[in-house]
């Protein structure tokens, strides 16, 4: 299911004539002889909600700090709105940042925290109060204007930090793990509020997160990072459905990986030999895949069908023993051990009463999926 966005949808990265707001050109950042960012090329467009996703230490914060002006690139150029940002200090950039720790000023009230940037801008004094009120309304904190940061909850602090960063109406807002300190429920609620605010203000957001679900929820595009490199930059659905590497596939959501050898590539379909004496498995060929090298078939657990009977004439079917069953309410997850030691997860919606499905621990079962359900990736 490749995204079929029509022309009216928001997708400036598809338009050849669109001018990016942010442009990274061959950007490298070194700390001593450690390379934190490794030769990155990236365009981010106006009004995008762009997510940087990757494990801890992969360079997300560093990338963000270069945009904010706290770090200079060791090599390459960063341009924002057509201006090369080399040597431009943070206070001279139309960029604001919401810090991972929030960094609220403890000696100032909520109101004064939000007004802090405005008082240092060229906004006339008479307009500041109005703007602060507007921000307080946006994040629904009007009642707490006179409180100090230590007198409000974590979730409220997070909103103050957001309001403070938005108050000056920046072209670009950077959010470094903005929801990291919130509990799950508040997180999800806040994700939607963030999207709402982004839409209302029309600001370009660049968000850092190590939570793939969060990135999928909020972002228009996601950049998956690994060791200072961009592995894939794409829309959430493409990242999920068409990962370009085992790394991305593995990082984003649950996935089964079957490693083997790419036997043949025929148009869109590739065949992978994964165990001796077994028929090869088929999957969608990743772009640029060629036969002959090592590869992996990646498939989402929800695309695998489990049954006790032989599914019949399909290419992709394997036999195994049920090792574990997790009942998740609307879904059940089965862990099936194949004779070769490969473990596959399979997820089925519980449309029938569980007792009538009749698959139990230690049962011999068939797993099957269609030719295009999985994707064959080079390794």
Length of the chain: 379
Is residue 61 a contact residue for Mg ion (CB under 5 A)? yes
C-alpha to C-alpha distances, 294 to 263, 273, 282, 290, nearest whole angstrom: 9, 10, 15, 10
Q: Where are the beta strands (DSSP E) in the chain?
A: 22-31, 34-44, 49-53, 75-80, 83-84, 95-98, 172-176, 204-209, 221-226, 229-234, 256-266, 269-273, 281-285, 294-299, 305-307, 316-327, 331-337, 343-349, 364-369, 375-378
User: Cα-flanking dihedrals φ and ψ of residue 198, to 5°?
Assistant: -60, -40
Residue 348 beta carbon to another protein: minimum distance, rounded to whole angstroms: 47
Pick the stretch among 52-60, 82-90, 258-266, 350-358 that binds ligand ADP (CB under 6 A).
52-60
Q: Which is nearer to Mg ion, 64 or 115 (CB)?
A: 64
Place of tokens 């700090």: 65
Closest to another protein by CB, 148 vs 317, is 148
101 touches which of Mg ion, ligand ADP, another protein, none (CB within 5 to 8 A by kind)? another protein
Q: At what angle do helices 154-166 and 184-201 cross, to 10 degrees?
A: 20
| Residue choice 4, 56, 126, 355 for contact with ligand ADP (CB under 6 A) | 56
Q: Find the distance separating the first CA and the last CA of the chain, reported in whole Å.
A: 23
User: Footprint of another protein on this chain (CB under 8 A)?
Assistant: 68-70, 89-91, 95-97, 99-101, 103-107, 116-117, 120-121, 148, 150, 164-165, 168
31 binding partner (options Mg ion, ligand ADP, another protein, none; Cβ < 5 to 8 Å by kind): ligand ADP
Q: Is 60 in the site for ligand ADP (CB under 6 A)?
A: yes
Asked whether position 223 contacts ligand ADP by CB under 6 A, the answer is no
Min separation Cβ 97 and another protein, Å: 5
Instruction: Determine the interface stretch with Mg ion among 54-62, 146-154, 229-237, 304-312 (rule: CB under 5 A).
Output: 54-62
Separation of alpha carbons 128 and 308, rounded Å: 69
What are the residues whose beta carbons fall under 8 Å from the beta carbon of 317, sequence distance 6 or more? 310, 311, 366, 367, 368
Closer CB to ligand ADP, 27 or 289, in the complex: 27
- Min. distance of Cβ 61 from Mg ion in angstroms? 3
Q: Given CA atoms 90, 91, 93, 98 in this order, what sign does their dihedral have?
A: positive
Contact 181, 104 (CB under 8 A): no
What is the smallest separation between the CB atom of 248 and ligand ADP, expressed in angstroms? 16
The piece of 20-28, 53-61, 159-167, 318-326 that touches ligand ADP (CB under 6 A) is 53-61
List of residues contacting Mg ion (CB under 5 A): 61
In the complex, the residues that contact ligand ADP under the rule CB under 6 A are: 31, 34, 36, 54, 56-62
């Amino acid at each position: 299911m490749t995204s079929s966005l029509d022309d009216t949808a928001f997708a400036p990265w598809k338009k050849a004539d669109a001018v990016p707001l942010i442009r990274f050109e061959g950007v490298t950042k070194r700390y001593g002889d450690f390379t934190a960012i490794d030769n990155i090329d990236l365009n981010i467009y106006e009004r995008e909600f762009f997510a940087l996703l990757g494990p801890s230490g992969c360079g997300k914060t560093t990338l963000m700090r270069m945009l904010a002006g706290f770090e200079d690139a060791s090599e390459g150029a960063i341009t924002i709105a057509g201006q090369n940002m080399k040597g431009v200090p943070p206070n001279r950039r139309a960029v604001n940042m919401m810090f991972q720790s929030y960094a609220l000023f403890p000696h100032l009230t909520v109101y004064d925290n939000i007004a802090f940037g405005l008082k240092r801008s060229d906004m006339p004094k008479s307009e500041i109060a109005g703007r602060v009120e507007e921000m307080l309304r946006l994040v629904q904190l009007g009642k707490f204007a006179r409180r100090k940061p230590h007198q409000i909850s974590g979730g409220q602090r997070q909103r103050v930090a957001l309001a403070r960063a938005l108050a000056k109406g920046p072209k670009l807002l950077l959010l470094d793990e903005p929801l990291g300190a919130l509990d799950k429920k508040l997180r999800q609620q806040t994700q939607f509020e963030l999207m709402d605010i982004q839409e209302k203000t029309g600001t370009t957001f660049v968000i850092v997160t190590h939570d793939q679900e969060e990135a999928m929820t909020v972002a228009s595009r996601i950049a998956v990072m690994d060791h200072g490199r961009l592995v894939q930059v794409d829309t959430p659905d493409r990242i999920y459905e068409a990962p370009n590497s085992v790394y991305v596939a593995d990082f984003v959501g649950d996935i089964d990986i079957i490693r083997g050898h790419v036997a043949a590539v025929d148009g869109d379909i590739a065949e992978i030999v994964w165990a001796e004496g077994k028929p090869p498995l088929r999957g969608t060929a990743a772009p640029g895949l060629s036969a002959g090298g090592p590869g992996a078939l990646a498939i989402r657990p929800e695309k695998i069908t489990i049954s006790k009977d032989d599914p019949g004439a399909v290419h992709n079917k394997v036999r195994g023993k049920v090792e574990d069953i997790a009942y998740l309410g609307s879904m059940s997850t089965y862990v099936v051990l194949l004779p070769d030691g490969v473990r596959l997860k399979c997820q089925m919606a519980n449309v029938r009463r569980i007792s009538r499905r009749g698959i139990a621990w230690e049962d011999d079962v068939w797993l099957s999926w269609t030719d295009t359900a999985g994707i064959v990736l080079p390794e």
